[in-house]
Amino acid sequence: MAGTAGTPGTPRVLRAMNDRAALDLLLEHGPLSRTRIGKLTGLSKPTASQLLARLEAAGLVLATGTSEGRPGPSAQLYEVNPAAAHVAGLDVTPGRVLAAVADITGRTVATHEVPTPGRRAAGSVVRQVTDALDGAVKAAGLARDDVRRIVVGTPGAFDPGTGRLRYASHLPGWHSPSLLDELAAALPVPVEYENDVNLVALAEQRLGAARGHEDFVLLWNQEGLGAALVLGGRLHRGWTGGAGEVGFLPVPGAPLVRHVTKANSGGYQELAGSQALPRLARELGLADVPSGPYAEAAAALVARAAAEDSDAHRQLLRTYATRLATGLASLVSVLDPELVVLSGAALTAGGEVLRALVQAELEELAASRPKLVVGDVQEHPVLRGALESALAATRDEVFDTSR
């Protein structure tokens, strides 16, 4: 592998670069032979053999089987050692804390959920976080010290200046000024906190519909309506972490909401959030409107409307698409993204039918015309993004053989 500009060309550095390139290829392709690794990296067979021996001795790769129908040492396959490191991710909502543990390859090895009913004090938040983590760690057959890094996804964002959670008054117990210190004391590994929608965007960027895209917006509609902004390949969080809190956005068609942080809502949330769908369905005279949590009811309504062929169901989808496009028009007019990813149960339930309606409406409301796609990561996307974030930093540490 050729060195990059400005990189010292010492043998040790070049070996480390080749090692990392080989490890990344094994993560991407799965088990590979020495010959295949040599071809993909441009290394000679002897150099590829030395590299694999070095990584095997360091506990970073394992010999695993042989290529079918090929005898001899050249047929030996190698894979990244899953036990080289483990990370944890947590997805926090008002109703539960969901934790997962993944090995260094990205495979989720265990999950554990802790329900969180009612209001919570800071002390109980710490206990619920540690209970969720310990449950997942135990289910994985590990000890807490085996986890190298934890990433926690929450609604809102922790203000980098004050350390307090903002934009998420519906998450009781998480607003204590001492909470992050208490969590740091309880968790003996590096812990990072990220907005839940930002983590969904990270999952789509690494694994899903936004792969290969440097500028995109992810619109999320589940318990709340929010967005993630990826500019130049990087998340844009804003000065206080509030970039993408589009639920507070004033929009045509909705009353002007004042004191939005106290109300924990705004015009766009009231117009197109999950709670608006059951109300709209009743206005259109639809029967059997689902009750229960807004996100589940909205997803059920949208899925049914996309599948049914009736005037009322078609009107529900058209109205919903117009409302979604109304807020999106402001976002794309300011940011001019290449791509918009629709995610969250109240959006993905509509599939291609809803996507096409939103695309058509947006093209009439905004001069910029990004491509709209439905998100690919639909099973626990916040949790998947948390694991991907933890894995990225941990792989940089564990795979660095230059030290």
| Three-state SS annotation for 77-132 | EEEECHHHCEEEEEEEECCEEEEEEEECCCCEEEEEEEECCCCCCHHHHHHHHHHH
Binned at pLDDT 50, 70 and 90, residue 65 comes out as confident
Of residues 89 and 289, more confidence is placed in 89
Kindly write down the DSSP assignment for every residue of 257-269, as one continuous string: P-SHHHHT--HHH
What is the pLDDT averaged over residues 251-279? 90
Residue 2 lies in a domain: no
* pLDDT score of 309: 85
Q: Are residues 237 and 102 in the same domain?
A: no
What is the pLDDT averaged over residues 301-323? 94
Q: Are 234 and 286 in contact (CB under 8 A)?
A: no
Q: Are residues 273 and 297 in the same domain?
A: yes
**CATH no. for residue 250?**
3.30.420.40
Q: Are residues 257 and 121 in the same domain?
A: no
* pLDDT score of 119: 60
What is the pLDDT averaged over residues 286-306? 89
Residue 227 pLDDT greater than 80, yes or no: yes
What is the pLDDT averaged over residues 250-261? 90
pLDDT tens-digit map of 128-153: 999 999 999 999 999 999 999 999 99
Q: Are residues 368 and 389 in the same domain?
A: no
* pLDDT score of 2: 46
Q: Which of 29, 63, 80 is the last residue of a domain?
A: 80
What is the pLDDT averaged over residues 283-305? 89
Q: Are residues 51 and 180 in the same domain?
A: no
* pLDDT score of 120: 61
39 Cβ contact partners less than 8 Å away, ≥ 6 residues apart: none
The pair phi, psi for residue 401, each rounded to 5°, is -95, 10
Enter the tokens of residue 244.
């993408």
* pLDDT score of 188: 82
Amino acid making up residue 91: D
pLDDT tens-digit map of 80-96: 999 999 999 999 999 99
Q: Are residues 175 and 244 in the same domain?
A: no
Domain span holding position 16: 11-80
pLDDT tens-digit map of 160-200: 888 899 988 888 889 888 999 999 999 989 999 999 999 99
Residue 389 lies in a domain: yes
Q: Collapse the DSSP code of 344 into the 3-class scheme (helix H, G, I; strand E, B; otherwise coil) and give the result.
A: coil
Q: Are 49 and 41 in contact (CB under 8 A)?
A: no
Q: Collapse the DSSP code of 339 into the 3-class scheme (helix H, G, I; strand E, B; otherwise coil) and give the result.
A: strand
Enter the tokens of residue 171.
């998450």
Residue 206 lies in a domain: no
Q: Collapse the DSSP code of 298 into the 3-class scheme (helix H, G, I; strand E, B; otherwise coil) and give the result.
A: helix
Residue 6 pLDDT greater than 50, yes or no: no
Cα distance between residue 211 and residue 317, in whole Å: 28
Q: Collapse the DSSP code of 142 into the 3-class scheme (helix H, G, I; strand E, B; otherwise coil) and give the result.
A: coil
Whole-prediction pTM: 0.92
Residue 74 pLDDT greater than 70, yes or no: no
Binned at pLDDT 50, 70 and 90, residue 291 comes out as confident
Residue 165 lies in a domain: yes
Binned at pLDDT 50, 70 and 90, residue 403 comes out as confident
* pLDDT score of 263: 80
pLDDT above 90: percentage of residues in the chain = 79
Q: Are residues 63 and 91 in the same domain?
A: no
Residue 104 lies in a domain: yes
Residue 184 lies in a domain: yes
What is the pLDDT averaged over residues 8-12? 72
**CATH no. for residue 75?**
1.10.10.10
Q: Are residues 225 and 355 in the same domain?
A: yes
Closest CA to 89 of 391, 338, 292, 383: 383
Q: Are residues 360 and 250 in the same domain?
A: yes
Residue 5 pLDDT greater than 70, yes or no: no
Q: Are residues 270 and 355 in the same domain?
A: yes
What is the number of structural domains in the chain?
3
Closest CA to 227 of 253, 246, 254: 246
Cα 365 → chain centroid = 29
Q: Are residues 364 and 388 in the same domain?
A: no
Q: Are residues 304 and 160 in the same domain?
A: no
86-101 per-residue burial string, b: 16 or more CB within 10 A, e: under 16: bbbbbbbbbeebbbbb
pLDDT above 70: percentage of residues in the chain = 95
Tracing tokens 């310990």 back to the chain, one arrives at: 134
Q: Which of 80, 106, 135 is the last residue of a domain?
A: 80
The least confident of 83-87, 254-258, 270-274 is 254-258
Enter the tokens of residue 51.
């590299």
* pLDDT score of 8: 54
Residue 401 pLDDT greater than 50, yes or no: yes
